[in-house]
């Protein structure tokens, strides 16, 4: 298994536009390397009750906080994902994320 894809946690932050409104800016959090595999929408629907056209399962061994953010971004493609589920295992250093494209 190759951990060769770069991902980063992202969050949207409101920034005043100076006219009483606000703009959203993207704040990047922790970066990590992961192995990714595509997941069919039918699989996500059966496992989680979510319907999406495209999904991704990530496996990482980097030390990260899986509750840091609900959004991730692929550094190379800039494709953004929403975290549906994250699983950590006490006996291993691996964390698995189930994602849907946003």
User: For residue range 58-97, what is the model confidence (pLDDT) as tens digits?
Assistant: 888 888 776 777 888 999 998 888 887 777 766 666 777 7
Residues 5-101, CATH architecture: Beta Barrel (2.40)
Burial class (CB in 10 A: 0-12, 13-18, 19+), 66: middle
23-66 pLDDT per residue, tens: 888 888 889 999 988 877 666 666 666 656 677 888 888 887 76
**To the nearest whole number, what is the mean pLDDT of the chain?**
80
Return d(Cα 101, Cα 67) in angstroms, integer: 18
């Amino acid at each position: 298994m190759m951990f060769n894809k770069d991902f980063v946690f992202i969050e949207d932050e409101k920034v005043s536009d100076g006219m009483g409104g606000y703009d959203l800016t993207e704040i990047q959090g922790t970066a990590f390397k992961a192995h990714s595999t595509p997941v069919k929408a039918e699989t996500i629907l059966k496992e989680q009750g979510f319907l999406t056209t495209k999904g991704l399962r990530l496996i990482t061994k980097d030390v990260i906080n899986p509750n840091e953010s609900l959004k991730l971004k692929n550094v190379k493609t800039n494709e953004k994902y929403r975290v549906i589920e994250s699983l950590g295992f006490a006996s291993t250093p691996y964390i698995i994320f189930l994602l849907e494209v946003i």
